[in-house]
Amino acid sequence: MAAHSSIEAITARIVERSKPLREAYLDRVRRTGSRGPHRAVLSCGNLAHGFAVCSPAEKAALAGDVVPNLGIITAYNDMLSAHQPYETFPPIIREAAREAGGIAQVAGGVPAMCDGVTQGQPGMELSLFSRDAIAMAAGIGLSHNMFDAAVFLGICDKIVPGLVIAALSFGHLPSVFIPAGPMTSGLPNDEKSRIRQLYAEGKVGRAELLEAESKSYHGPGTCTFYGTANSNQMLMEIMGFHMPGASFVNPGTPLRDALTKEAAKRALAITALGNEFTPAGEMIDERSIVNGIVGLHATGGSTNHTLHLVAMARAAGIKLTWQDISDLSDVVPLIARVYPNGLADVNHFHAAGGMGFLIKQLLKQGLLHDDVRTVFGQGLEAYTVEAKLDANGQVVREPAPEESGDKKVLALIETPFQSNGGLKMLTGNLGKAVIKISAVKPERHIIEAPAIVFHDQQELQDAFKRGELNRDFVAVVRFQGPKANGMPELHRLTPPLGVLQDRGFKVALVTDGRMSGASGKVPAAIHITPEASDGGPIAKIRDGDIIRLDAIAGTLEVLVGAAEFDARTPVVVDLSDNEFGMGRELFAAFRRNVGHADQGASVFA
Ligand SMILES: O=C(O)[C@H](O)[C@@H](O)[C@H](O)[C@H](O)COP(=O)(O)O
Ligand code: SF4
């Protein structure tokens, strides 16, 4: 079925805008590719170092020119519950490679930050930069050039975007992403948030709060809310980097291990040495990127992807804009309600039909490009399935159900929860911003109230504790942009602003910083560009100025006369405290060279 006319039109304008960049990229990818194994260009010395620890049989195979070698890039560590399961993946992948007549080596590890551990802490100021550091680290691993395909073990917020940037920078190689799956459901996310608001109001103590948090985040696997990490899994499947049905299978299960083995074998099957050569740089094109954005809107995915998708697309020579993302939101309905956009978690989403049902519904109305390449072959229709195990422990796939397993979690495309994706770009005299309203009640889609200006999130939390915020106001939290301090997530603002909103006050947040993918119920205009540290208009706002945030009209305005506002001098603050401590001194070059948020807040372009 041809894609919906609006989807086709937006895709066509991305293709047109990207043409020179994309053609140069594809030329490089094709020139780098080779018919033989990539290690064939290495000297004997290079090769001997590369397979020094291999078995004699592996050395003999690698010395030859026919056996494909798989490079594993792993983001394993014990800090991220989502990545801890990866500790055992390399041996499983090596065994699968052997069974398939290939070899697999760990090409390198990459760092991975848990945004949950650093949330509200100085470490969060390294979070966004860690995406590009992860891309660099993965590039270091793959630069050994011993490999005919790569598999990526990464899930969370900045890790998948960084790994995709690396995979596309090595676009001559096939790349398969292998997920580890969500942790099993614990304390419901809305109950966790209720306890947090009680703690913010001083109605429960740390013991009760820690007990609730520990029951919510209780074991291996991705946190079960639909934040950036689980948005990443959705993206990897709908863009064709995952095997069909792989995203939301819990770790430590037979199906999970079978999917891991299958992915390793598939990666070896799509190298240049076989008959289904699928280099990542050609597999991912403008249609794949648009499919990712459609999935993001249909599921109420993380606002962080208004940064990451722009940076990921750019790595493949594709120029994506916030206007593209915003215009796609207008034509893609919301058909999944997963916390914070609902009460369900990703396990419920998977049980209700998951990715196979979602893709089937979106294809039904031509809202996805079906004519795309994936690691599984040609066409996205192949992903309208559920993965299961047969009696022999092999992965089999059954058609996704025609009906939703839970109509409160997954809706039919004909009867969506909202007619649009709710991830909008805002424009006005403060510059550009983005807002996600899929978790914001309709009566809060337009907020007009006096500004109260803060220069960090702790200031707001302290004002809340002093009882100074029981009023209608727009919190302006500035000097939180990429150049100022690495553009941290300001998710610790969610409980106090949520309490004030629940008390009936009209509140909103306006910031050049970010929010968590898990934030949602308070209207927030985020990623304001230009940022305060670049002299952006947000630096001219004063306490008491009336701010109007209109998510319906797509505008963000300070209601001050143009002449007066233009005549104001942007406030400048001393940011030297951001330059040292918890590793921030190591990222000074990133703060100096990082690009604007609407360009992906990247140090690469
Ligand atoms: O973008 C995201 O999804 C968030 O960065 C998420 O990964 C982070 O861990 C949150 O901080 C979790 O939520 P809590 O902090 O509420 O546990
Ligand atoms: S989802 Fe967030 S909190 Fe959970 S493991 Fe990943 S980065 Fe950490």
Residue type for position 289: I
Question: Is there a contact between 507 and 447 (Cβ–Cβ < 8 Å)?
Answer: yes
Nearest alpha-carbon partner for 151 in 232, 81, 243: 243
| Residue 605 scores a pLDDT above 90 | no
Question: Closest ligand 2 atom, CA of 156?
Answer: 6
3-state secondary structure of 144: coil
Question: Closest ligand 1 atom, CA of 216?
Answer: 17
Q: Which ligand is nearest to the CA of 303?
A: 1
Give distance in angstroms: CA of 164 to centre of ligand 1. Answer: 21
Contacts of 9 (CB under 8 A, 6+ apart): none
The residues lining ligand 1, judged by C-beta closer than 6 Å to any ligand atom, are 115-116, 119, 157, 227-229, 302, 304, 489, 491, 516-518
Give the closest residue (by CA) to ligand 2 atom 3: 116
Which pLDDT score, from 0 to 100, does residue 244 have?
98
CA atoms of 593 and 590, how far apart (whole Å)? 5
Contacts by 46-55, CB closer than 8 A, 24 or more apart: 47/146, 50/105, 50/144, 50/146, 51/105, 51/146, 54/103, 54/105
User: What percentage of residues in the chain have a pLDDT greater than 90?
Assistant: 95
* pLDDT tens, residue by residue, 455-471: 999 999 999 999 999 99
Give distance in angstroms: CA of 487 to centre of ligand 1. Answer: 15
Distances (CA, A) of 376 to 270, 283, 382: 9, 11, 8
| Residue 584 scores a pLDDT above 70 | yes
Give distance in angstroms: CA of 124 to centre of ligand 1. Answer: 11
Question: Is there a contact between 508 and 409 (Cβ–Cβ < 8 Å)?
Answer: no
What number is the average pLDDT over the span 79-85?
98
> What is the bridge-based pairing of β-strands 546-550 and 446-454?
antiparallel
Distances (CA, A) of 271 to 70, 150, 265: 9, 10, 11
Give distance in angstroms: CA of 267 to centre of ligand 1. Answer: 31
Give distance in angstroms: CA of 225 to centre of ligand 2. Answer: 10
Give distance in angstroms: CA of 481 to centre of ligand 2. Answer: 22
Give distance in angstroms: CA of 117 to centre of ligand 1. Answer: 9
Give the closest residue (by CA) to ligand 2 atom 6: 156
Task: Quote ipTM for the complex.
Answer: 0.97
Give distance in angstroms: CA of 513 to centre of ligand 1. Answer: 15
Question: Is there a contact between 514 and 307 (Cβ–Cβ < 8 Å)?
Answer: yes
Q: Within 13 Å and on the Cβ side, how many CA atoms surround 163? A: 30
Residue type for position 422: G
Q: What is the largest CA-CA distance in the chain?
A: 77
Which pLDDT score, from 0 to 100, does residue 517 have?
82
* pLDDT tens, residue by residue, 303-316: 999 999 999 999 99
- How many C-beta atoms lie closer than 10 Å to residue 114's C-beta? 22
CA dihedral 183, 185, 186, 189 (to 10 degrees): 100
Confidence of residue 373 (pLDDT cuts 50, 70, 90): very high
Nearest alpha-carbon partner for 37 in 18, 62, 13: 62
Q: Is 156 annotated as a binding residue?
A: yes
Give the closest residue (by CA) to ligand 1 atom 17: 116
Ligand 2 binding pocket mutation candidate from 79, 83, 157 (most atoms within 8 A of CB): 157
* pLDDT tens, residue by residue, 213-261: 999 999 999 999 999 999 999 999 999 999 999 999 999 999 999 999 9
Q: Within 13 Å and on the Cβ side, how many CA atoms surround 505? A: 20
User: Judging by beta carbons within 10 Å of its beta carbon (0-12, 13-18, 19+), is residue 413 exposed, middle or buried?
Assistant: middle
- How many C-beta atoms lie closer than 10 Å to residue 187's C-beta? 17
Q: Within 13 Å and on the Cβ side, how many CA atoms surround 333? A: 20
Ligand 1 binding pocket mutation candidate from 115, 124, 215 (most atoms within 8 A of CB): 115
Q: Where are the beta strands (DSSP E) in 175-296?
A: 175-177
* pLDDT tens, residue by residue, 139-190: 999 999 999 999 999 999 999 999 999 999 999 999 999 999 999 999 999 8
Give distance in angstroms: CA of 520 to centre of ligand 1. Answer: 11
Question: Is there a contact between 344 and 230 (Cβ–Cβ < 8 Å)?
Answer: no
Question: Is there a contact between 523 and 509 (Cβ–Cβ < 8 Å)?
Answer: yes
What number is the average pLDDT over the span 125-146?
98
Ligand 2 binding pocket mutation candidate from 80, 127, 339 (most atoms within 8 A of CB): 80
Give distance in angstroms: CA of 46 to centre of ligand 2. Answer: 38
Nearest alpha-carbon partner for 89 in 177, 203, 182: 177
Least confident of 28-32, 258-262, 359-363, 540-544: 28-32
CA dihedral 364, 368, 372, 376 (to 10 degrees): -70
Give the closest residue (by CA) to ligand 2 atom 7: 114
CA atoms of 390 and 183, how far apart (whole Å)? 23
Distances (CA, A) of 597 to 165, 311, 601: 16, 10, 4
Chain length of the chain: 605
Nearest alpha-carbon partner for 409 in 504, 480, 334, 521: 334
Residue type for position 115: D
Give distance in angstroms: CA of 74 to centre of ligand 2. Answer: 16
Give the closest residue (by CA) to ligand 1 atom 12: 116
HEC secondary structure over 326-341: HHHHHHCCECECECCC
DSSP 436-484: E-TTS-GGGSEEEEEEEEESSHHHHHHHHHTT---S-EEEEE-S-SHHH
Question: Is there a contact between 157 and 517 (Cβ–Cβ < 8 Å)?
Answer: yes
Which pLDDT score, from 0 to 100, does residue 520 have?
81
* pLDDT tens, residue by residue, 486-514: 999 999 999 999 999 999 999 999 999 99
Mean pLDDT for the chain overall: 96
Give the closest residue (by CA) to ligand 1 atom 10: 116
Give the closest residue (by CA) to ligand 1 atom 14: 116
HEC secondary structure over 268-293: HHCCCCCCCCCCHHHHCCHHHHHHHH
User: What percentage of residues in the chain have a pLDDT greater than 70?
Assistant: 99
Q: Which ligand is nearest to the CA of 85?
A: 2
Which pLDDT score, from 0 to 100, does residue 596 have?
98
Which pLDDT score, from 0 to 100, does residue 3 have?
74
| Residue 33 scores a pLDDT above 90 | no
3-state secondary structure of 435: strand
What number is the average pLDDT over the span 134-142?
98
| Residue 35 scores a pLDDT above 90 | no
| Residue 36 scores a pLDDT above 80 | no
Give the closest residue (by CA) to ligand 1 atom 4: 516
Q: Is 54 annotated as a binding residue?
A: no
DSSP 554-598: TEEEE-S-HHHHHHSPPP----GGGGSSTTGGGGHHHHHH---GG
**Rg of the chain's alpha carbons, rounded to an integer?**
24
Structure tokens at 163: 């790994």
Give the closest residue (by CA) to ligand 1 atom 7: 115
The residues lining ligand 2, judged by C-beta closer than 6 Å to any ligand atom, are 80-82, 114-116, 156-157, 222-223, 227, 229
The per-residue b/e assignment along 211-250, b for 16 or more CB within 10 angstroms, e otherwise, is ebbeebbeebbbbbbbbbbbbbbbbbbbbbbbbbbbbbbb
> What is the bridge-based pairing of β-strands 555-558 and 546-550?
antiparallel
- How many C-beta atoms lie closer than 10 Å to residue 73's C-beta? 28
Which pLDDT score, from 0 to 100, does residue 314 have?
98
CA 21 from chain center: how many Å? Answer: 24
CA atoms of 472 and 259, how far apart (whole Å)? 51
3-state secondary structure of 240: coil
Ligand 2 binding pocket mutation candidate from 83, 84, 114 (most atoms within 8 A of CB): 114
